[in-house]
Amino acid sequence: MAASSRTWRRRCYWTAAVVGLLVGLYVGSYAVLYRRGAAEADAHGYRYFFYVPFTDIVSSRGTTRQHRVLLWLYDPVNDLHHHWFGGRDACRSITFGPSPERPDGCVCRA
């Protein structure tokens, strides 16, 4: 009976250690992506942050598949961070409007 109790405790200890490690990796990877995304958002004057580099968003003219997957993956911790601790919310979608620059070859008449 004592041996099975010891085995059960050891199994619980290892399960708790593995779960703790996975939670730490999850929150840590969110923190790294959040800090990078918030710094880029500050640099561009944007209210929301992206999980992928801003250059990827600009080149794709919208949110990328990787951003949408990471948005789904980190949504629970981002909601907690945003609502309880005042962190920024992740950008859910983006719409690029008309550009103030004229396209090449455009002849504008006054």
Q: Is the dihedral of CA 33, 39, 43, 45 positive or negative?
A: positive
Query: Of 29, 11, 31, which Cα lies nearest the Cα of 21?
Result: 29
Mean pLDDT of the chain: 83
pTM recorded for the entire structure: 0.74
Model confidence at 95, in pLDDT bands (50, 70, 90)?
low
Q: What are the tens digits of pLDDT across the range 33-63?
A: 999 999 998 998 888 888 988 888 878 777 7
- Within the chain, what is the greatest distance between any pair of CA atoms? 93
